[in-house]
């Protein structure tokens, strides 16, 4: 069973962003599955690395889109992305064999952060850049 199912509440209406988010959800499920399947610490690290690398690629794409639309909330949104990176760096993504709780804690953080960020900050941004009158 997947950790999270892609659903309508996560759809923002901009195809490229929705596609990225869908892929992030798939990578999060993959990282969770890796834990369930009992993969080695090295394999767990690789799945988390894939997820964080893709998140960074996605953040850059979102920030480019906001720049292209001269979105006034860009700096605040960038700070959200930076806080995410800092949190991941602090929690680390190199779990050893006996630190599975740390791995699960990281997965839970990623799940909570991703869903909350998409539903609030990303939705607000997409609404602003796709609705001229709503531009801040
Ligand atoms: Fe974002």
Distance 62 CA to ligand 1 centre (A): 6
Q: Report CA(66)–ligand 1 centroid distance (Å).
A: 10
Query: In angstroms, what is the span from residue 94 Cα to ligand 1's centroid?
Result: 25
If you measure from the C-alpha of residue 79 to the centroid of ligand 1, how many angstroms do you get, rounded to a whole number?
10
Q: Where are the domains of the chain?
A: 8-134
Query: pLDDT tens for residues 70-96?
Result: 999 999 999 999 999 888 877 764 545
Is the CB of residue 121 less than 8 Å from the CB of residue 80? yes
- pTM score, whole prediction: 0.89
Does the domain made of 8-134 have the CATH classification 1.10.150.80?
no
Q: What is the rounded average pLDDT of the residues 5-26?
A: 97
Q: 91 C-alpha vs ligand 1 centroid, how far in Å? A: 20
């Amino acid at each position: 069973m997947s950790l999270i199912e892609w659903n309508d509440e996560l759809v923002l209406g901009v195809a490229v962003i929705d596609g990225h988010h869908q892929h992030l959800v798939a990578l999060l499920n993959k990282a969770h599955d890796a834990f369930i399947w009992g993969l080695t610490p090295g394999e767990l690290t690789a799945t988390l690395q894939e997820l964080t690398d893709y998140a960074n690629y996605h953040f850059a794409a979102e920030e480019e889109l906001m720049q292209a639309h001269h979105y006034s909330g860009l700096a605040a949104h960038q700070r959200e992305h930076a806080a995410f990176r800092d949190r991941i760096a602090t929690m680390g993504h190199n779990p050893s064999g006996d630190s599975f709780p740390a791995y699960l804690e990281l997965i839970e953080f990623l799940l909570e952060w991703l869903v909350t960020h998409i539903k609030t900050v990303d939705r607000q941004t997409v609404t602003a850049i796709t609705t001229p009158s709503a531009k801040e």
